[in-house]
Structure 1
Amino acid sequence: MFPDVVDLRSFYAQPLGVVTRRLVARGIRARFDNVRGLSVLGIGYATPYLGVFREECERALAFMPGAQGVTRWPSAAPTLAALVDECELPLPTAAIDRVIAVHLLENTPDAEEVLREVWRVLAPGGRLLCVVPNRRGVWARVDNNPFGHGRPFSRTQITELLREALFTPVGWSEALYMPPVTRSWFLRTAVAWERAGATLSLPFSGVHIVEAAKQVYKPVAVKRRARLRVLQPVLAPQAIGG
């Protein structure tokens, strides 16, 4: 079940949301470090992370699921956001070069179908970047943040989901090692938490940031055939009554 867009917007306006945006955006930008001349699509509630790409890429779009609701984006320019059915995106096939999915896969009732639709609109060589809550992290266990709602994923689970939808994971990173504590003095230590977590490769990050490449050729499943009984040929009719 998708959180309401008003709650998402309210979270990112609070101090904890501001810190969350800064830390997750670092991981996203590290993966998509050059989008010049490319088209970028954000699905779910990705607008807090799209602004850094808007002036650089050829065009940027924000699609928000109908069950979540939509807000205007950007606020001071003609809107680039639309309310959509996440399983039927209003785009032609192979129209997008990069897709950023945030607050999407953990909330949609059919994540595999959504990913197959993302596969359709991605151009050959396109990349998908998913930000999903970590099943082992503290953020998925606390409901004071959007990553505490919906289905969290382990690394194995998100890998299997992507592969079933014809994506190949090609890069991993994590973010939000600090607990989701709202006190201002604690938020000032966020960068130290991130550095320590990344240096020690701790498994308790709040989110996985997974980059996946579109598989151009769909694998064909080999069906197991039943073994047939081999009969000996009869070359000449045998005499009856011998």
Structure 2
Amino acid sequence: MSIDITDLRSFYASPLGAVTRRYVGRAIDRFWGPLTGLRVLGLGYAPPYLLHVRSQCERALAFMPANQGVVNWPSTGASASALVDPLMMPLPDSSIDRVLVVHALETVESPTELLHEIWRILTPGGRIILVAPNRRGLWARMDTTPFGYGQPYSRSQLKSLMRQTWFSPEGWAETLYMPPLTSRLLLRTAQVWEGIGVGFSMPFAGLHIVEATKQLYRPGTVQAVRRSRRFSPVFVPSPASQVTRSSLISPGFRGVKQGPT
């Protein structure tokens, strides 16, 4: 189940959306690294997290799924956004260096096909940053935010999904420990919630953020080698024939012939 583009824009324009953008953006920034001369793609609804990246990289694109809708981005200058099928993106192989996936993995019909398509467009050694709702957190249980729609994930599920689609997870982060409510008190104490959650490694964070690298070689299935059995001759005794048994009797012995009494 996907969420409409108007709802996404409204959420990030709200006070709760501003807090979300702040803490999720900080976690993402720790994984970007130097972007000079690189090509960056945001898939899903990534404009809130691409604003400061656009000035650093060679090129930044924002692809949005067709069932979600699209907005013009950036607001000034040439548009860099497009409405696409996320499973068949209009990009050549090995053409993107960094991919940010946010508001996409949890709502796509086939997560494995999505990641295979991202693997195709990434350059050798390219990296992906995935933002996905935590199935143990409150943000995945309440539909007051865009992260309450679709399929949430646990860390082990994300690891398995990455390995199935030829990605090697390298960095993890959890964020959004505060409840997804619009209370002014909660919004003001968001920093306290975040500090406690990160400091004590609490399991109820709202989001998982994982960075993974594209594997250069697809792992192949190793099949067990079937070894042929070596047969060695075995001598099995066979029953003696009638002739052989009779030959064992003394030829001079014919028995006693009894006459009539």
TM > 0.5 fold call: yes
> Does residue 44 of the first structure (1) align with residue 44 of the second (2)?
yes
- Structure 1 match to 2:66: 66
Post-superposition Cα deviations, 1:71-104, rounded to whole Å, max 9, x if no partner, equal: 1111122110000110111111110110000011
- Structure 2 match to 1:113: 113
- Structure 1 match to 2:78: 78
| Residue aligned with 1:158, SS | helix
Gaps (5+ residues) in structure 2? 234-261
Are the counterparts in 1 of residues 129 and 211 from structure 2 also a CA contact under 8 Å?
A: yes
Cα distance between partner residues in 2 of 1:33 and 1:224? 42
Cα distance between partner residues in 1 of 2:188 and 2:30? 22
Number of residues of Structure 1 aligned to a counterpart in Structure 2: 233
> Does residue 198 of the first structure (1) align with residue 198 of the second (2)?
yes
Report deviation, 1:188.
1.1
- Structure 1 match to 2:9: 9
Post-superposition Cα deviations, 1:141-186, rounded to whole Å, max 9, x if no partner, equal: 0000011110000000000001100000000001101111102232
- Structure 1 match to 2:159: 159
- Structure 2 match to 1:186: 186
Give the residue type in structure 1 aligned to 2:180.
P
Give the residue type in structure 2 aligned to 1:35.
L
| Residue aligned with 2:108, SS | coil
Give the residue type in structure 2 aligned to 1:216.
L
Paired-residue identity, %:
54
Report deviation, 1:20.
0.6
- Structure 2 match to 1:222: 222
Instruction: Name the stretch that deviates more: 182-191 or 122-131.
Output: 182-191
Are the counterparts in 1 of residues 178 and 186 from structure 2 also a CA contact under 8 Å?
A: no
| Residue aligned with 1:83, SS | strand
- Structure 2 match to 1:127: 127
| Residue aligned with 1:169, SS | strand
Cα distance between partner residues in 2 of 1:102 and 1:163? 19
Are the counterparts in 1 of residues 45 and 103 from structure 2 also a CA contact under 8 Å?
A: yes
- Structure 2 match to 1:148: 148
Report deviation, 1:33.
3.2
- Structure 2 match to 1:20: 20
- Structure 1 match to 2:170: 170
Report deviation, 1:47.
1.1
| Residue aligned with 2:11, SS | helix
Q: Over aligned residues, Cα RMSD in angstroms?
A: 1.3
Gaps (5+ residues) in structure 1? 234-242
Instruction: Name the stretch that deviates more: 70-79 or 132-141.
Output: 70-79
| Residue aligned with 1:55, SS | coil
Report deviation, 1:54.
0.4
| Residue aligned with 1:52, SS | coil
Cα distance between partner residues in 2 of 1:110 and 1:225? 34
Cα distance between partner residues in 2 of 1:208 and 1:139? 11
Give the residue type in structure 1 aligned to 2:76.
A
Report deviation, 1:223.
2.3
- Structure 2 match to 1:240: none
Report deviation, 1:231.
4.8
Larger Rg over CA atoms: 2
Report deviation, 1:222.
1.4
| Residue aligned with 2:127, SS | strand
Cα distance between partner residues in 1 of 2:47 and 2:202? 28
The TM-score with structure 2 as length reference comes to: 0.86
